Amino acid sequence: MFETIASTSIYRNLNLNKNLTHSYLFYSSDQELNNILALFFAKTLLCDTNSGTDQCNSCKQFDARTHPDLTILKQDSIKVDDISKIINKLSTLPISADKKVFIILNAETINEIAQNKLLKSLEEPNSKNIFILTTTKTDKLLKTILSRLNKIYIPHLSPNDKKILASELKKQDINIEKLIDSDFSLTESINIIMDSNYQKTIDEIFKLFKDINTTADIPSVVNSLSINDKNNFYICFQDIILSCIKDDYKKYDRNSIEIINSKFPKKALLKSLPLIEDAYKKQMSNVNFYYILDNLLFNILKEKFLCK
């Protein structure tokens, strides 16, 4: 599993080793992804060869969560006492690695008093102590804390990356729940996207772009769609748009990408990305699919005309 993560472009592109500091914040809207990447990074920091993939003693201890220099904090609510326990460990020397790693997953759960306590430790950097925090809600962290952290934005996992991860997971029969010891739902999203519905969803999105020219087309186009996989519809949608913007024909049918590009200026496509993100959020909160899609198409067409 971790070997696979290390091989994904998403991890390599983070360029973490270029700017080693003593505290990090991994953030994006995908909690599971933030957490796996943060854990993998921690594993490489403690690993004998800094690869995280060599099965060294340190890596084995990491996987078993018995590494003496590793502390993982993950709770629904993190209070001063929890932070104090970490602070007590800061002054001791590492036991088997050359540094100690403290991971706080979903750091938005640290209450304000505890954040202030943590801030003091972040203000006194020590190369033997590395902090790694993750969050989906940077606005829940104090500005003073944020300013102390090396912020690492995690881009979305593309459907292709998910496919790679999913096939690897199947091979290794890995229970992710156990791996991270948390309420992990990446497996679920992978299963959904691995489904044969995935290709159908992609075909439907291309069809939609071929059929739509003006806002008057929206009702008939939307009615003609038969989307089985509504939750992943917007993720695919966004991924296709990204491929159009980047002229990347690897994943999708070249003709279809070119059709979209001939109809929509790149600027309009770029502006539609946050609109799709917004639609995805609405879908997650169970707003009616056809209503969201109607709105989204209307707004995308509006961008198209504004860009002319």
Cα–Cα distance measured from residue 68 to residue 100, given in angstroms and rounded to the nearest whole number: 8
Q: How far is the CB of 37 from Zn ion (least distance, A)?
A: 17
Cα–Cα distance measured from residue 51 to residue 16, given in angstroms and rounded to the nearest whole number: 12
Of 47 and 145, which has the nearer Cβ to Zn ion?
47
Q: H/E element holding 23?
A: strand 23-27
Buried b (16+ CB within 10 A) or exposed e, 89-105: eeeeeeeebeebbbbbb
CA 185 vs CA 32, 106, 180, 189, 248: distances in Å: 7, 14, 11, 7, 29
Of 132 and 276, which has the nearer Cβ to Zn ion?
132
The token duo for 38 is 């943060």
Q: How far is the CB of 6 from Zn ion (least distance, A)?
A: 11
Of 45 and 47, which has the nearer Cβ to Zn ion?
47
The footprint of Zn ion (CB under 5 A) covers 47, 54, 56, 59
The distance from CA 205 to its chain's CA centroid, rounded to whole angstroms, is 23
Amino acid at 179: L
Of 57 and 75, which has the nearer Cβ to Zn ion?
57
Of 59 and 186, which has the nearer Cβ to Zn ion?
59
The token duo for 254 is 């070249």
In terms of DSSP H, where are the helices of 20-142?
31-46, 57-63, 80-90, 112-123
Of 56 and 146, which has the nearer Cβ to Zn ion?
56
Q: Single out the residue of 200, 266, 204, 192 nearest to residue 231, CA to CA.
A: 192
CA 171 vs CA 1, 70, 175: distances in Å: 10, 28, 11
Q: How far is the CB of 52 from Zn ion (least distance, A)?
A: 6
Q: How far is the CB of 32 from Zn ion (least distance, A)?
A: 23
The token duo for 77 is 């609510």
Of 57 and 220, which has the nearer Cβ to Zn ion?
57
Cα end-to-end span (Å), the chain? 46
- Output the DSSP codes for 244-267: HHTT--SSS-HHHHHHHHHHS-HH
Amino acid at 45: L
Cα–Cα distance measured from residue 132 to residue 64, given in angstroms and rounded to the nearest whole number: 19
Q: How far is the CB of 42 from Zn ion (least distance, A)?
A: 12
Q: How far is the CB of 45 from Zn ion (least distance, A)?
A: 10
Q: How far is the CB of 98 from Zn ion (least distance, A)?
A: 13
Of 59 and 152, which has the nearer Cβ to Zn ion?
59
Q: How far is the CB of 55 from Zn ion (least distance, A)?
A: 7
